[in-house]
A and B are shown apart, each in its own frame.
Chain A
Amino acid sequence: MKKVFINSIGAITSQKTFDNSEFLNEIVNYSTTNISVVNPNYKAYLDAGSARRMAKGIKMGVVASKVALEEAGLESVDAVITGSGMGCVIESERFVAKIIDNNEEFLTPTSFIQSTHNTVGGQIALGIQCKGYNFTYVHSSSSFETALLDAQLQLELDEATNILVGGVDELGPHMIKVHGLIDHIKQEQTIDNLNILSSKTVGAVFSEGASFIVLSNAKQESTYAELIDVAIYNTLGLTRVETKLYEFLKQNNYTVNDIDAVVLGNNGDVNFDEYFNKLSEGVFANTQQVVYKHLIGEYKTASAFGVWLGAKMLKTQQMPDCIKLNDKAPSALNTILIYNQYRGDNHTFVMLRKC
C-alpha cells in the first residue's frame, strides 16, 4: 500500500488563512454569534463574471481549491471529493422563499441550479476540466473526513495520484434565524469570540468556510505531512471516546505517548464540549492541546480547518499561541491527532505525521 501525503492546503475561514505564507499572523476577534469569512480578493482568482455570478459557497470552494492546486503545482487532479454538511444553503433558502412568496410563480432556475449539494464539486471539476471521479459527501460533521477517507483508499491502492479533497459550508440568513430558535446558536447578544470556549453557555457560534487540500501518494517539495489514518463513527457514547481512541491508535501501531499535539473541536457549547474535555482532562492531560473554533466558529466542515492546522504545524514546526489550550508544547512535532464531533454525533479521528 502506498503512503498518502498532504501536498498543499488552501483555506478561507473567519481568519485570514488564504495566504499560505502566513500562519495566523493577525487574529480577528468577533463579537457576534454568527460570523462570516475574511474574504480574499476573489477577482484575483476568478474572472469578474464568475466572481459576480457564483454563490458564496461555490466561490469559496473554487478559490480555496485554486490556492491548494497552485501550491501543489497542479493544473488538474485525478479526482475531486468534496464534503459539505449543509450544501449551498443560501441559494436553497432563496429558492424556498421565492416559492412561498410568489406562490410558485415567476421563478428562475439560477437559485435552484446553485442550490444542489454537489454544485461546488461540479464547479471545481468544470473549472479545471477534471473528468475523473467526483463525489460529494453531505453527512454533518463527518462530511470532510469521509471525503478524506475516500481519497485515502484510492491513493493507497494507487487508483489515483493526486486528489483534491475539501470541505465547504456557507451560512444563510434563514439558517441563522432558525438555528437560534433551537439554541444551536448561542443566545448572547454580544460575545467575545476569543473566549467562547469557556463561555459555559449552550450553542455555538455559527460560521462558514472552505478548506481544500491536495492529497497525493507522491511526496514532493511542497508536502506538509503524511496522512496516517482516518476513523469515523456515527455514534459514540461519552464513555466510549477513549476506548475508540485507543483502538484507533493501536490499529496504527501508535500509543498515546506518540501524540505530540491533539487538535480538539471544542466550540464552547457547554452541553457537548464534554466529549473533548473527556480527552483533554483524561488521556491527553499531559499532551499539548490545540483548539481553533474560537477563531473560525462552527460549521459542519470546520474540522477541515483542524486538519489544515495539523498540516501547517507539522510543516512549519510552529504553534501560534492563539491555538494553545494548555502549555505542554513538545520540543518537536512529529505526530498530531485531530478529533471532532458535533452535538455528540459523527465523531472523527484524523492522524498526521511529519514527513
Chain B
Amino acid sequence: MSKSVAITGMGIISAIGNNVEENYLSLINGKKGISKISKIDTIHKDCIMVGEIAYTNADLEKSLDLPADHNYSRSSLLGAFAAKQAVENAGITNMAKYRSGLISASTVGGMDMTEKYFYDYIENPTNRKYIDGHHLGDGTQKIAKLLGIEESFVSTISTACSSAANAIIIGSRLIKSGKLDRVVVGGTDCLSKFTINGFKTLMILSDTYNTPFDDARKGLNLGEAAAYLVLESDEIVKAENRKVLAYVKGYGNTNDAFHQTASSENGDGATAAMEKTLRVANLAPKDVDYINAHGTATPNNDLSEGRAIIRVFGEEVPPFSSTKAYTGHTLAAAGGVEAIYAVLALQNNVIFPNLNFKNKMKEFSITPETSLIKKELNTVLSNSLGFGGNCTSVLFSKKP
C-alpha cells in the first residue's frame, strides 16, 4: 500500500508542441495550435478548424524506428511517441524492476485506418494488416511492448472525453491498493473523418477559433494529442531518489445520468465529481488554487460546467481557465494533456490564460482568466466531462 501517488514523468505531443517544454512555451506565450485541417481530406475542411499535430505518420514512424511492415494507426503512433517520452522523463531504465502497468485511453483507436481502407480491405490484401489494429486495445498493447511492460496489468479505457482522466484514477487506485508500484497512464486520439463527421452531425463544431466560456461561443475545435504520466509509489520514489513533479491528491468519477450526449443543465455529474475529488483529497473548496476547466466551448458544456463550479465553490470561485483554445478538444487524450498542464502550472506557479474570451456569459457572473497570471499554486483541479454522462475530476498538488 502506498499512501501517496507521485507523478515522476510526463510526455506529450499536441498541436502546440512535440514535448512538454514546447507545450509549456506555447501556453505561456499564448500560442494556439488551431488551424485549417491539412492531413485529412474532408469536405468540411473550409468550415472547421482543428488542433492538428505537425508530425506526419512518416515522421512518427521514423522517430519510433518502426519496421516497414508495422500496423500502427496514427493514435498508436502518437501514443507510443508520448508514452516513451514520459518514461524517459521519469528516468526509468529498467521497467521490470518494479511491478509496472499501463492504462491508456482512446476513443478513435485504429479508426483512421478503418475509414481509409473500409472497402479496400475486401478487394485488396495490401492493407489488411490494419484490420486487427481497429480495436482500442491494440494500440495499448503496442505501447506496453515498446515500454517493456510485460506479463503485467495493461488496460484501455474509453469513456469519451473523460477517458484519460479515468486512466489517472484507476492508475492511482492500483498504486494506493498496492497492486502495482508504477503505472504509466494517459491517452491518445488522432483526428479522423469519423469524429469530425460525428461532432459535425451533433452541430457542436465551431467554424472558427473556439472560445471557451464566452457568451458568443459557437462550439469546439477537435484536436489530436497523446499525453502520458508516470505514476509511482512512495517506495519507488524513496528507493530511486526520484524528483517528484506533483502528486495525484484526489479524484472523483460520477455519471450525470441525464442524456447520452448532453450534460445536465445544472451540471449534477460535474458537481458530484468535483465534490468527491475534494473529499478524497481531504481538502475544502477554498484550498483549490486553480481550476483547469473542461471548457470545450460548446454552449452546453460551458454552461453546465460553469454552474457546477459555482455550486461547488459558491461565492469564491478560484481562478479558472480552459486550455482548449490552444489544443482543441483532444477527446480521450484531453484528461492527460490537461493533467500535464496542471502539473506545469504547479511547477511554474502560473495560471494559463483562457484564450479568445471576450464576452461574459449572461447566465452567471464568473469569467475565466484571460492573461498569464503568476501566483503561488499548491493545488490544481482538472475537469473532464464526456458523452455518456461520464464526469471526472482530478486534483493535483505539490505536497503529498
> Do the beta carbons of B258 and A126 come within 8 Å of each other?
yes
Residue of B nearest to A97 (CB): B118
The reply to whether A116 and B158 form a contact with Cβ atoms under 8 Å apart is yes
Answer whether residue B63 sits at the interface, using C-beta atoms and an 8 A cutoff. Answer: no
Q: Which residues of A contact B314 (CB under 8 A)?
A: none
B158 and A134: CB pair below 8 A?
no
B residues apposed to A, CB below 8 Å? 42-44, 102, 106-107, 111, 114-115, 118-119, 121-122, 125, 128, 131-132, 135-138, 140-141, 144-145, 149-160, 166, 170, 173-174, 177, 179, 193-194, 197-198, 200-202, 253-261, 268-269, 272, 386-390
Q: How far is the CB of B141 from chain A (nearest CB, A)?
A: 6
Decide if B261 touches A99 in the complex (CB within 8 Å).
Answer: no
Name A345's contact: one of B141, B149, B179 (CB within 8 Å): B141
A236 touches B159 (CB 8 A): no
Q: Would you give the shortest CB distance from B149 to chain A, in whole angstroms?
A: 7
Closest chain B residue, CB of each to CB of A244: B151
Interface contact B200-A107, CB-CB below 8 Å = yes
Chain B nearest Cβ from A199, distance in angstroms: 21
Q: Which listed residue (A126, A182, A235) contacts B257, Cβ 8 A?
A: A126
The answer for the CA separation of A177 and B170 in the assembled complex, in Å, is: 35
Give the chain A neighbours of B255 by CB distance below 8 A. Answer: 80, 122, 125, 130-134
Closest CB of chain A to B159's CB: distance in Å?
Answer: 5
Interface with B: A60-68, A142-150, A216-224, A278-286, which one? A142-150
Query: A134 and B141: CB pair below 8 A?
Result: no
B122, B153, B174, B260, most chain A CB atoms within 10 A:
B260
Whether A122 contacts B131 by the Cβ 8 Å rule is: no
Which residue of chain A has its CB nearest to the CB of B195? A112
- Hey, which chain B residues are within 8 Å of A103, CB to CB? 43
What are 15 A-B contacts with C-beta separation under 8 Å? A95-B198, A104-B43, A117-B158, A132-B255, A134-B254, A135-B159, A137-B158, A153-B174, A178-B122, A181-B122, A184-B132, A233-B151, A233-B153, A234-B150, A345-B141
**How long is the Cα–Cα vector from A132 to B276 in the complex, in angstroms?**
10
User: What residues of B have a CB within 8 angstroms of the CB of A119 in the complex?
Assistant: 260, 388
Is the pair B390, A134 in contact by a Cβ cutoff of 8 Å? yes
> Would A104 and B390 be within 8 Å (CB), given that A126-B258, A136-B157 are in contact?
no
A293 contacts chain B at the CB level, 8 A cutoff: no
Q: Is A13 an interface residue (CB 8 A)?
A: no
In angstroms, Cα B354 to Cα A5, docked, is 48
Smallest distance from the beta carbon of A125 to chain B beta carbons, Å?
A: 4
Taking CB atoms, residues of chain A closer than 8 Å to B201 are 107-109, 112
Chain B nearest Cβ from A112, distance in angstroms: 4
Please encode chain A, from 31 to 44, with 1 for each CB lying within 8 Å of some chain B CB and 0 for all others.
00000000000000
13 further A-B contacts with Cβ under 8 Å, apart from A109-B198, A138-B137, are A80-B255, A96-B111, A100-B119, A104-B42, A134-B388, A135-B253, A143-B137, A178-B122, A182-B131, A234-B154, A235-B144, A235-B150, A240-B151
B118 touches A100 (CB 8 A): yes
Q: From residue 93 to 129 of chain A, which have CB atoms closer than 8 A to chain B? A: 95-97, 99-100, 103-105, 107-109, 112-113, 115-119, 121-123, 125-126, 129
With CB as the reference atom, state the residue of chain B lying closest to A232: B153
Q: How far is the CA of A139 from the CA of B388 in the complex (A)?
A: 19
Interface pair A121/B388, CB less than 8 Å apart: yes
Q: Once bound together, how far apart are the Cα atoms of A178 and B123, in whole Å?
A: 11
Say yes or no for A29: interface residue by CB 8 A criterion: no
B170 contacts which chain A residues (CB < 8 A)? Answer: 135, 150
A96 in contact with B194 (CB, 8 Å)? yes
Known: A99-B193, A181-B122. A129 touches B257 (CB 8 A): yes
Q: Are A181 and B119 in contact (CB under 8 A)?
A: no
Given A85-B137, A119-B260, A139-B140, is A234 in contact with B153 using a C-beta cutoff of 8 Å? yes
Interface string of A173-190 (1 = CB under 8 A from B): 010011101101000000
Which among A107, A121, A138, A300 has the highest number of chain B CB atoms within 10 Å? A138
Is A233 touching B159 in the complex (CB atoms < 8 A)?
no
Tell me whether A136 and B158 are in contact (CB under 8 A): yes
Complex interface: chain B residues within 8 A of A109 (CB): 198, 201-202, 261
Asked if B257 and A138 sit within 8 Å, CB to CB, the answer is: no
Residue B272 contacts which of A131, A136, A150 (CB distance < 8 angstroms)? Answer: A131
Contacts of A146 in B (CB 8 A): 155
User: Which residue, of B106, B179, B261, B388, has the highest number of chain A Cβ atoms within 10 A?
Assistant: B388
Q: Is A346 an interface residue (CB 8 A)?
A: yes
The answer to whether A137 and B268 touch (CB under 8 A), given A122-B390, A150-B170, is no
Contacts of B387 in A (CB 8 A): 113, 116, 118, 122
Q: Mark A324-355, 1 if CB is under 8 A from B, else 0.
A: 00000000000000000000011000000000
For B154, the chain A residues whose CB sits under 8 A away are 139, 232, 234, 346
Complex interface: chain B residues within 8 A of A182 (CB):
128, 131-132
Nearest-Cβ distance from residue A39 to partner chain B, whole angstroms: 23
Residue of A nearest to B204 (CB): A109
Q: B144, A234: Cβ atoms under 8 Å?
A: yes
The 4 closest A-B pairs by CB, nearest first: A122-B388, A112-B198, A234-B154, A117-B158
Which of chain A's residues have a CB closer than 8 A to the CB of B156? Answer: 137-139
B136 and A139 contacting across the interface, CB-CB below 8 Å: yes
How many Å lie between the Cα of A130 and that of B197 in the bound state? 30
| Max count, chain B CB within 10 A of own CB: residue among A103, A129, A140 | A140
Contacts of A92 in B (CB 8 A): 111, 194
Q: Is the CB of A346 within 8 A of B388?
A: no
The CA-CA distance from A223 to B132 in the complex, in Å, is: 39
Residues of A within 8 A of B153 (CB): 232-234
A232 adjacent to B159 (CB under 8 Å): no
What separation, in Å, do the CA atoms of A244 and B151 have in the docked complex?
A: 9
Q: In the bound complex, do residue A300 and residue B194 qualify as a contact, i.e. CB atoms below 8 Å apart?
A: no
Nearest CB in chain B: distance from A184 CB, A: 7
Tell whether, in the assembled complex, residue B388 and residue A118 are in contact, meaning their CB atoms are under 8 Å apart: yes
B389 to nearest A CB, angstroms?
A: 5
Residue A264 at the chain B interface, CB threshold 8 Å: no
CB of A263 closer than 8 Å to a CB of B: no
A96-B118, A107-B197, A233-B151 given; A135·B157 CB < 8 A: yes
- Across the interface, which residues of A come within 8 angstroms of B253, CB to CB? 133-135
For B390, the chain A residues whose CB sits under 8 A away are 118, 122, 134
Contact between A104 and B197, CB atoms less than 8 A apart: yes
**Docked CA distance A104–B141 (Å):** 32
A115 to B192, CA, bound (A): 14
How far apart sit A181 and B119, CA to CA, in the bound complex (Å)?
12
Known A-B contacts A104-B193, A136-B157, A153-B179; A115 and B198 likewise in contact (beta carbons under 8 Å): yes
A166 at the interface (CB under 8 A from B): no
How near does chain A come to B294, taking the closest CB pair, in angstroms? 16
Task: Assess the A136–B159 pair: CB atoms within 8 A.
Answer: yes
Interface residue A205 (Cβ < 8 Å from any Cβ of B): no
- Residues in B neighbouring A300, C-beta threshold 8 A: 135
Q: Are A126 and B155 in contact (CB under 8 A)?
A: no
